[in-house]
Structure 1
């Protein structure tokens, strides 16, 4: 069974747009757990435009499922935050300053030495490490050389091309997944996966352990309700 980790950044975006604490980020995370989600994901950024650093502490103290913190390990404040909260998993994402959302994976070849140091740091604190990568076999293979536990395939290209030609859209992802198995890496995926394209992705990607979904899931919840939405995403993963 592939686990569903719900990214709650958009709940924090809505809260921050008005000030105060409505909607409540922690209560939403706990509701996601009650409705069947197997994990909670957050992606704090330096300007705290959605998830605030305090949210991470609040979530860590209350949630009972897997906690996944994504972010840019080149930011020392992010590294300190992760080490202070020891989540089940940290996902290393090569965000650039001011970037609206993640839009590329790591060049694991040119950054192999640096990533190896960061992987070692987090693993020494008992945190599982996943590296965000594009569906390129060479990048998957180089990721394995850093000592990481998992990779997360960046799936925007798949989601964009899926309506036009789903077989072609998924081809590079299947190859990357097979390479991950060959080199002993666990496999996660995320970005723009939704109720239209998730089931096909799950059915065709070998060894898929976890998907992290936020924007589409929270948007669907506006129409369907959070409980029904999570139920439908879980059904796609069976």
Structure 2
């Protein structure tokens, strides 16, 4: 007699499996600041990036299994390139990309035995903070429209609680970076994150054309050392 598992139990088991996989990773924080959107990952690797550029004004951050979110990132780049070439670069938006990712993740979650162990943020910087877009996508294809800040992976609840207490709208880049780093450190009272163990990037609305830039360790260290404004 074949072993029977109800659809509800099967979905619950998949969700628990994905959550445990995501929680084993290190956290990523995304937050708005005066000049754009800041991405900070607890990631000492110089080659395996959790934060990447997708298009002119759009960036991607992820936690979970690297090979799985890297497949999603590459698919997002192809989607953006094709749509920008066929139509207009302004037609490529974070909302459109989030919808594509939601469909892919939802299909994988419901139709395969193993769900993706990933959580994503797709962000687009606008002309001002009110027009910034930040979308959080979970392993089952659910999408949330976020404002201010997002914490994913690791002990995300502890990081989010710290962000809630420390986040301030309109902060400078240095202040926002210190907020992100101190919130990431909230996962472990004994841990101090240094510049070389961080992956940091920004979508800077004051730049032209490609607004994404990575911050080298020297610049991260300089910003962390600045006096709070």
Q: Tell me the TM-score normalized by structure 1.
A: 0.30
User: Which of 1 and 2 has higher RCO (CA within 8 Å, sep 6+)?
Assistant: 2
